[in-house]
């Protein structure tokens, strides 16, 4: 009796890798995606086109909510769009779960961006939460809505804060990840633009470690 799993944002960078890995492990996976920023990664499971908030949550053991607008810079230009997509869609999905599937596990993809600029290094779980962009605030708000539904309605919810994920099929366009941008420029023999002194340090998470983390969150 394999678990039935729904992934929102299933055509995205993390969602496509996660879904493919879960299929390989024998899970039944269904995806939903509005195609706003699909990855080039080919998915080997069925993906419905649509918004996360319109999903019918019935029948799934686990719902992994990865669908979101995800770029800090873009969110500064489009804050309302980010809140509508990241907070309102999350709320709609949680309400659907409350009404139709209250016993499922809901895994919410948050972000290390909720911490804001590092006040101490290395950052830890108890670092103050001080969002410095509409994107970060939308993820913090999404977490708050999740906690509310856990507290009031008893929904089983786990929150994962992704931290600078990189790997195969990551987008390298205007709002892509820096490592994928560097790779594309290097392939073309172009310079890699470096800001500041070039001596700053930053941690990145390999996509395979990230999806293994989600697997543990879903199964342990």
Return the active site residues.
135
Angle of helix 134-153 versus helix 89-100 axis, rounded to 10: 20
Q: How far apart are CA 65 and CA 210, in angstroms?
A: 14
What contacts 24+ positions apart, CB below 8 Å, involve 81-86?
82/134, 82/135, 82/138, 83/134, 83/137, 83/138, 83/141, 85/138, 86/135, 86/138, 86/139, 86/141, 86/142
- Give the pair of three-digit tokens for residue 213: 């983390």
Q: How far apart are CA 34 and CA 56, in angstroms?
A: 15
Report how far apart, in Å, the C-alpha atoms of 137 and of each of 10, 31, 65, 220 are. Answer: 23, 26, 17, 29
Helix (H) or strand (E) holding 83: helix 79-83
């Amino acid at each position: 009796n394999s678990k039935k799993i729904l992934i929102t944002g299933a055509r995205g960078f993390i969602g496509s890798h996660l879904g493919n890995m879960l299929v390989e492990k024998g899970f039944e996976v269904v995806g939903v995606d509005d195609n706003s920023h699909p990855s080039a990664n080919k998915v080997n499971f069925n993906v419905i086109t649509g918004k996360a908030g319109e999903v019918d949550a019935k029948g799934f053991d686990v719902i992994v909510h990865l669908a979101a607008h995800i770029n800090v810079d873009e969110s500064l230009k489009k804050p309302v769009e980010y809140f509508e997509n990241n907070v309102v869609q999350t709320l709609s999905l949680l309400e659907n779960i409350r009404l139709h599937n209250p016993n499922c596990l809901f895994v919410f993809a948050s972000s290390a961006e909720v911490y804001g600029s590092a006040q101490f290094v290395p950052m830890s779980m108890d670092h103050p939460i001080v969002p410095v962009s509409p994107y970060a605030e939308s993820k913090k708000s999404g977490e708050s809505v999740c906690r509310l539904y856990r507290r009031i309605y008893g929904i089983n919810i786990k929150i994962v804060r992704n931290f600078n994920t990189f790997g195969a099929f990551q987008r390298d366009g205007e709002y892509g990840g820096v490592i994928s941008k560097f790779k594309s420029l290097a392939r073309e023999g172009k310079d890699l633009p470096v800001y500041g002194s070039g001596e700053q340090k930053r941690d990145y998470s390999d996509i395979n470690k990230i999806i293994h983390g989600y697997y543990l969150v879903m199964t342990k």
